[in-house]
Amino acid sequence: MQRYFIASKQFGDNRVTITDDDAHHLTRVMRAEIGDKCICTDGLDREALVKIVAIEKGIVEAEIIERLPMTAEPAVNVWIAQSLPKGDKLELVIQKGTEIGAVGFIPFVSERTVVQYDAKKEAKRVERWGKIAKEAAEQAHRNRIPAIDSVRSFKQLLSLVSEFDAAWICYEQEEGTTFRSLVRESLKNKAAKLLIIVGPEGGFTTGEVEAATAAGVKSVSLGRRILRTETAAMVGLTCILYESGEMGDSFE
C-alpha cells in the first residue's frame, strides 16, 4: 500500500491532511478517490492506515482507521559519511542506503574529492538528496526518513566522531584490522550508533587515515575485492545490519 511521510502538524487525532507533492502523487499518479486507503506517518512516533474522505484544491483529507506499530526501523543506528563522489553517485548511495536501513548521511569533502563543492548550490542539492531519501523511505516501508547532514570538511567530520559508539574508515590498503571482528565486538558491547566513513574515487590520503585514527576511528578493509566508492557504503551498511540480525533474521 502507498505510504506518505507527512509533517507532524498534518497528523491529527482522528484525521490527517495530505498536501503538496504527496497529494499530487496520491490523486494524479495513483488516481486515488474518496474511500481509497493509504498509510501516513509523521516519521517520528505516529503511523496510521487512513481512508480518504475529501479531495479538494489539491489537498486530501483522510480519516484514521487504524494506528499502526512502527517496526521497520533497525535497532542499530548506522550513519554513512561519504566523500562527495562524481556525478549522481551520492544519489545512489542515499537511495540504496535508505532502502537498506541507514539512519543518516554526512556528505563531506576530502583531499582527493574531485567534484567542485559549491556552497551556493548546496541548499538545492541537500533538498534533492532529502527528496530521494523521502521517496526511498516510503518505497522501503520505513517509519522514518534518514537525515541528510550539510556538507562537512574532513576536519569537521572527525570532530563528530565522538558522538558515535564506533566509527570505521574504509581503507583499501588496510590489511591488519578485520571488519567483521570489529562489527561483532561493537555489537556485543551494545554499540547503538555507528559511523562508516567512505572516501572519494581516489581514496583517502595516508595523512587523512592517520588523522582519523587519531580521532578514534578504526581503519578497515571490506575484503580483497576493491569496491567502488558508491558500493563501499552499501556493503558496509549491509554487513553491520546483517550482523545485528536485521536482514531477514527474525520477525518478532
Residues engaged in binding a copy of itself (CB under 8 A)? 71-72, 96, 99-101, 139-142, 175, 178-181, 220-228, 231, 234-235, 238-239, 241-243, 245-251
* 60 versus 132: smaller Cβ distance to a copy of itself: 132
By C-beta, is 159 or 173 nearer to a copy of itself?
173
Rounded to an integer, what distance in angstroms lies between the CA atom of residue 80 and that of residue 236? 9
Query: Among the residues of the chain, which ranges form H helices?
Result: 20-24, 89-100, 119-139, 154-160, 179-188, 206-214, 229-243
**Smaller CB distance to a copy of itself: residue 139 or 153?**
139
- The answer to whether 37 touches 64, Cβ cutoff 8 Å, is no
Residue 130, C-alpha cell as written in the block: 532529502
**Whole-number Å distance between alpha carbons of 143 and 180:** 28
Cβ of residue 183: shortest distance to a copy of itself, in angstroms?
9
Relative to beta strand 77-83, strand 104-109 is parallel
Residues 6+ apart with CB under 8 A from 195: 78, 79, 80, 81, 106, 160, 161, 164, 166, 167, 168, 217
Identity of the residue, 36 or 138, whose beta carbon is nearer to a copy of itself in the bound complex: 138
Nearer to a copy of itself by Cβ, of 43 and 151: the residue is: 43
Supply the minimum distance, in Å, between the C-beta of residue 120 and a copy of itself: 31
CB of 242 to a copy of itself, least distance (A): 5
Q: Rounded to whole angstroms, what are the CA distances from 129 to 107, 140, 228?
A: 10, 16, 20
